[in-house]
Structure 1
Amino acid sequence: MTRFVYAAIDVQGNDVNDRIEAETEYAARRELLLANLDVRSIEPYKSWLHRDIGKGKRVKPVEILHFSRQMAAFLRAGLTVVDGLDVISRSTANPTLAKALIDIRDQVRQGGQFEEALASHQDLLPRYYLGVVKSASMTGRLDEALEQLSSYMERELEARSRIKAALAYPMVIVGMSIVSVVVLTVYVLPKFVDLFDQLGSDLPWSTRSLMSLARFSQQYWWVYLLAFAGFAGVVTWTRRSRVGRRLADHLFIRLPVIGEIILFSGVERVCRILSALWQAGVPVTDGMAAAIESADNAVFVEKLIPVQEAVLAGEGISGPLADSGLFPDAAVQMLKVGEASGTMAEQLENTANFYGREVEVKLRKLTSYFEPAVIIAVGFVVGFVAIALVQAMYGSLSGGATAP
């Protein structure tokens, strides 16, 4: 059991700050929900040792991937858990991970269970990791589960890398565009204000509007800072607040194109982890719990909990997934075939691969439209500024400009 600290609000609206013991964060949240508590935040309780470890270097997902793969190889080779942890702790370059592995090794050496020792460092692991390890330990297939976890994490990292690569160029264009507009309004345009004031001639409407913007930027530059700070605050609140994340997830999944990308990405993740755990012999009920904990979207979490309850009631998995409304018809049909033919792990993998490719195609299509749109918008702004300045200077040099 892992101890968690949480902040919540009860039905009377009072703040509740306390601790709870549960196997996973998901189980803790579920228990608190049944107690009519609205959870605001929850995290594993850290003793003085874990707080000391937390001050060190961050443990990256790829390092957990390598640990899982190495541990699986050592267990298949006949090494004990203690020996495997000892070897990995001495070979890892990350001091934070090394300290955690040494602590886990010592707990197991003193008679503790591997999954219980891992639970004391759950903050270093993905949310679904501990539940999978516990289920695999009970079935005696820990090496297979660790290997499948490493394979899942590897595909997950590859998918994230492809998404980041697809979005990198558009983000660079957007950043350069924002910088260009800021430089124009804050530094370039104000230099022309005094010049045109000295000329004293009538200016075209385009130039007058630019000069008004330049004067505003000079006198009320702090408004831009406030706007940026407000935007940053909203983004931070959305990312860190449970309510904010839920609102954002429900909003974005309804957007055209972007919502479809989020939906397909979530379907790929759920199918990928279910396939990995199915192949490792983890019970489907535990696999569903891991899929829920791996979901980083509130919509998926809310829709998958009834699926898990239906699976526990013996209804199978393809039917409840279809009823959730999250899975497209093609995915549902593939899973029904897998359930009927006994090839569920294979069909889950095929479904994950199919929707992974769909995400890549839609991302490329989105960025192919996005890039020229940004370039056209920036070109319009820069062109408008250039035309406005040229009109004013030409009118002044020719003896006075007249407003059109």
Structure 2
Amino acid sequence: MSEFAYWALDVAGASTRGSVSALTAADAALLLRQRGIFAYRLEETRLSSASASLPGGQSLSLHWRRDFAEKLAALTAAGIAIDRALQLIMLQTKGKAHQTVEALLNAVRAGSSLAAALQQERAGFEQYELALIKAGEQSGELSTVLEDLSQILARRAKIAADIVSALIYPLFLLGFAAVSVIVISLVLAPRIAPLFEHNTDAIPTSLQMMLLLSDGITKHPLLLVFVCLLALALPVGLGRAFSWKRDLSRAACSFPLIARITQTSELGRVCNVLAALLKSGVSLQVAIGSSASAASTSATAQALLVVREAVQDGTRLSVALGQVPVFDPASLQLIAVAEETNRLEPVLRNIASAKESEALRLLTRSMSLLTPVLTVLTGILVGGVVMSVMQAILSANDLAIQ
């Protein structure tokens, strides 16, 4: 989702301006028209989903949002009023999160709804999460909706934790290989170089490269520190840059296995959000529009907006969802049967559970394959460096014999 600044006219012809969150400029204009506002100028300002910041630049993490929804669900289910529940949660938080919950509490006490307060305070909640909370408030099932939301966020957190856990060993191997090359370049290469002082043309290419690396690190030690910091900061910077993130996601999906994992996970997430929204009493059209913000790729989000328009025109959901690439024929058949039996919400939950389990299984298998591949590549790299050093020593012996 992106934030769009707009300049517009209302139904009375008066000028107005503000901002709205939407996937595209066209969707923002449509949303404003539904409010009776006719925009004549739209400008994209920034990303407005989970990257929204708290005061001071700190963002509410996925884990914090999960804990917040879980605690609030338990408190409201016990019959505690929303303002009292927020006050209790505020006492358990510190720092910027404490300030945000305090701001939410003040907004709610001033008469704002919880969803509106969360959006106003830019607490980092995504659009579909806000839509769930708003639906829960309107239907009087806030505690149930918050519990569903906490479960959705918990599954997302588990997938993220599994990915990080699976990447620890491969990253360790890559770091070990880099450190090994640096140590060999700094310790062994300079001790071998004097053997070739009378015949520099005989120095092997690999040894020359290690000597250059050693010389650069020795003369400019801060350069090594800068490169290490850059290597650590680059993934974070790319993750925050929406355009880079989108391009990297598109490039990664060009690999069949990664594309399958992404599509399977995407299908599970969309079905989960759709089921939760339908359970809270939201209309099907609104649920589809809100689930578009849960999509991790712009192609799926745009396709879901087209599905919403098709359903509004009377097309069956199972037929309209055929335009969304992530929906496979088996899932579409299940949804078609669910429409006939009026059991759409439980069937969507079953599809979501099956697809999320399949995505985790595929991820585990791919990481299991990645570890031995990186082990072999690391062995080849370090072994190649050692062999080049041995070759240099043997070449020096040949020169001495001559």
Question: Into which bin does the TM-score normalised by the smaller protein fall?
Answer: 0.7 to 0.9
| 2:213 aligned with 1:217 | yes
| 2:170 aligned with 1:170 | yes
Are the aligned partners of 1:274 and 1:348 in contact in 2 as well (CA < 8 Å)?
A: yes
- Aligned pairs for 1:132-147 (under 5 A) are 132-147=132-147
- The CA deviation at 1:259 is 1.6
Partner residue of 2:343?
Answer: 343
Partner residue of 1:197?
Answer: 196
Partner residue of 1:89?
Answer: 90
Are the aligned partners of 2:5 and 2:45 in contact in 1 as well (CA < 8 Å)?
A: yes
- The CA deviation at 1:208 is 0.7
- Aligned pairs for 1:300-319 (under 5 A) are 300-319=300-319
- Aligned pairs for 1:31-70 (under 5 A) are 31=28, 37=42, 39=44, 41-43=46-48, 54-55=55-56, 58-70=59-71
- The CA deviation at 1:229 is 8.9
Are the aligned partners of 1:265 and 1:355 in contact in 2 as well (CA < 8 Å)?
A: yes
SS of the residue corresponding to residue 123 of structure 1 reads coil
Find the aligned partners of 1:167 and 1:99 in 2 and give their Cα distance. Answer: 34
Q: Deviations over 1:327-376 (max 9, x none)?
A: 22232223223222222222222222222222222222222322222222
Q: CA 1:229/1:84 → structure 2, altered by over 3 Å: closer, same or farther?
A: closer
SS of the residue corresponding to residue 128 of structure 1 reads helix
SS of the residue corresponding to residue 124 of structure 1 reads coil
Find the aligned partners of 2:252 and 2:43 in 1 and give their Cα distance. Answer: 23
SS of the residue corresponding to residue 127 of structure 2 reads coil
Q: Deviations over 1:289-322 (max 9, x none)?
A: 3322222323322332212222333323222222
One-letter code aligned to 1:210: S
| 2:79 aligned with 1:78 | yes
Q: CA 1:316/1:179 → structure 2, altered by over 3 Å: closer, same or farther?
A: farther
Find the aligned partners of 2:388 and 2:78 in 1 and give their Cα distance. Answer: 75
Find the aligned partners of 2:25 and 2:100 in 1 and give their Cα distance. Answer: 23
One-letter code aligned to 1:20: G
Find the aligned partners of 2:17 and 2:48 in 1 and give their Cα distance. Answer: 10
| Residue segments in structure 2 that go unaligned for 5+ positions in a row | 7-15, 31-38
- The CA deviation at 1:238 is 4.6
Are the aligned partners of 1:303 and 1:326 in contact in 2 as well (CA < 8 Å)?
A: no
Find the aligned partners of 2:298 and 2:283 in 1 and give their Cα distance. Answer: 24
Partner residue of 1:129?
Answer: 129
Matched residue count: 378
One-letter code aligned to 1:82: D
Q: Deviations over 1:237-293 (max 9, x none)?
A: 753444333333322222221121111121121122222222333333332233222
Find the aligned partners of 1:96 and 1:78 in 2 and give their Cα distance. Answer: 28
SS of the residue corresponding to residue 41 of structure 1 reads strand
Find the aligned partners of 1:318 and 1:401 in 2 and give their Cα distance. Answer: 81
Partner residue of 1:255?
Answer: 255
Q: TM-score, normalised by structure 1?
A: 0.79
Are the aligned partners of 2:277 and 2:287 in contact in 1 as well (CA < 8 Å)?
A: yes
Find the aligned partners of 1:214 and 1:309 in 2 and give their Cα distance. Answer: 62
Partner residue of 2:327?
Answer: 327
Q: CA 1:339/1:36 → structure 2, altered by over 3 Å: closer, same or farther?
A: farther
Are the aligned partners of 2:321 and 2:327 in contact in 1 as well (CA < 8 Å)?
A: yes
Q: CA 1:243/1:100 → structure 2, altered by over 3 Å: closer, same or farther?
A: closer
| Residue segments in structure 1 that go unaligned for 5+ positions in a row | 9-17, 45-49
One-letter code aligned to 1:84: A
Q: CA 1:309/1:196 → structure 2, altered by over 3 Å: closer, same or farther?
A: farther
Q: CA 1:37/1:192 → structure 2, altered by over 3 Å: closer, same or farther?
A: farther
Find the aligned partners of 2:229 and 2:106 in 1 and give their Cα distance. Answer: 47
Partner residue of 1:376?
Answer: 376
Q: Which moved more, 1:251-260 or 1:329-338?
A: 329-338
Are the aligned partners of 1:250 and 1:298 in contact in 2 as well (CA < 8 Å)?
A: no
